[in-house]
Amino acid sequence: MRHPRIAAGACSLLLAAACAFADPATAHVAPRTVAGGYVALGDSYSSGAGAGDYLASGKECKRSSRAFPVLWAEAHAPASFTFAACNGAGADDVLTDQLGHLGPGTGLVTLTAGGSDSGFVSVIASCALGGAEGCLSAVSRARTTMDGSLSGSLDRLYSAIRNRAPAARVVVLGYPHLYHLRGACALGLPDGERATLNDAVDHLNAVIAQRAGAHGFTFADVTAAFAGHEICSSRPWLRGVDVLAITESYHPTAPGQSLGYLPVLTRVSGWKAG
């Protein structure tokens, strides 16, 4: 999930047509038309790394025309759309580089952040190379980070978003489980390590949900939306390890964006189409 920090950029306004857990965090919201623009913030899961068809503007950020923010904007035609999410961005990167387009006229903000801060790249490497004991140790360290420095970074970020966009509906989206257990993968991590990684994602989502709720933001859990489509499933919506495109490994594919993330955002955004 980590890549060099890149300053936020804007996507064009050619938008005018046409990845959830059944709990209160993703409960149905009565549709309402929201005045103002839409600003999409966050890391690689929001930029669309892994989905292909990357936009010419800010190539290093791997902003994809198939990413859920672009698809949502095409379907709902907000007054303006700014696509600031960037591959590898941590919470502090979002705070520093991506908030410039927020303002009193912003009606919707979406965000994924926390995966990079938690060191998931090193956690996955430890699980792959260090066996069950190494995997558990790496996940334990990541949990400590989630409960400590990440929580503080999210609080600072969420406060800044609210200060800059006081009228906006803010939707913070979580991360899907990485692995389908007892799945089709003949090689790779054993199910014990896969389950440990999925548990780490659950803990990360819980921390993000808690901090988002404390700031009055909507948390949208996507684990149910991706259920049956994780790595090692028969129809995965996440990329496995790709040595030729390592930064895209463990990221949603185009179907993961359109069939996983997009329906969850559509349900909770509170914005009528058209």
Question: Token pair of 152, please?
Answer: 């503080």
Q: Is residue 107 a contact partner of residue 37, using CB atoms and an 8 Å limit?
A: yes
Could you say which of 76, 177, 180, 251 is catalytic?
251
What the block records as the tokens of 14 is 């050619």
126-129, long-range: CB within 8 Å, 24+ apart, which pairs?
127/189, 127/193, 127/196, 127/197, 128/188, 128/189, 128/193
Q: Of 44, 64, 153, 249, which residue is the catalytic one?
A: 44
Instruction: Tokens for 124, please give them.
Output: 């996955």
Structure-token pair, residue 241: 């390890």
Q: How far apart are the first and last CA of the chain?
A: 34
* Residue 44 falls in the annotated catalytic set: yes
3-state SS, one letter per residue, for 185-218: CCCCCCHHHHHHHHHHHHHHHHHHHHHHHHCCCE
Catalytic residue positions? 44, 251
